[in-house]
Amino acid sequence: MQLDATDRRILGLLQKEGRLSNAELSERVNLSPSACHRRVGRLEADGYIDGYFALLNARKLNRPTTVFVEITLSGQADEVLEAFERAVKLVPDVLECHLMAGSADYLLKVVARDTDDFARIHRQHLARLPGVAQMHSSFALRTVRQTTAIPL
């Protein structure tokens, strides 16, 4: 499916203001509510929209510390990668896990209350992940830019 300008406007508005009602969205993109509803349904069905969620404030929820963890595995065999990926999905403090090209095999984004809490996460979860040969953790001092909006 090819996206037209109206599809892109719908996606742009929804990714920045996901709580827009269909009536408000249709007004802002100059479509009838029924036509807008059909387009959003098509964008969902075609996989352009993965879901809807609330972006929570980590500081308010006492998780102000962000740590990026580079992980190098003991090998690259499929079973090593698969075992690691299955296990890391079960760690609640890991917000993101990316298979990487470069010096590290994986990059994790972890949230914690503070350094002591990260030490707990490391001890109870990260150090027990299968196949890990090396880990390097970097603490974010300040978030300069954070967005979930994909450029359209």
Q: Where are the domains of the chain?
A: 5-45, 65-139
- Model-level pTM? 0.89
Intrachain domains 5-45 and 65-139 with the same fold:
no
Q: Return the pLDDT at 101.
A: 96
Residue pLDDT, tens place only, 9-42: 999 999 999 999 999 999 999 999 999 999 999 9
Query: What CATH architecture is 65-139?
Result: 2-Layer Sandwich (3.30)
Tens of pLDDT along 103-127?
Answer: 999 999 999 999 999 999 999 999 9
- Listing DSSP states for 12-69 in one string gives HHHHH-TT--HHHHHHHTT--HHHHHHHHHHHHHTTS---------TTTTT--EEEEE
* Gap between the Cα atoms of 105 and 101, Å rounded: 7
Using the predicted structure, report yes or no on whether residue 133 has a pLDDT greater than 90. yes
pLDDT of residue 1: 76
Q: Decide: 41 and 118 in contact? Cβ < 8 Å.
A: no
Closest CA to 43 of 75, 72, 80, 6: 6
Tell me the fold of 5-45: Arc Repressor Mutant, subunit A (1.10.10)
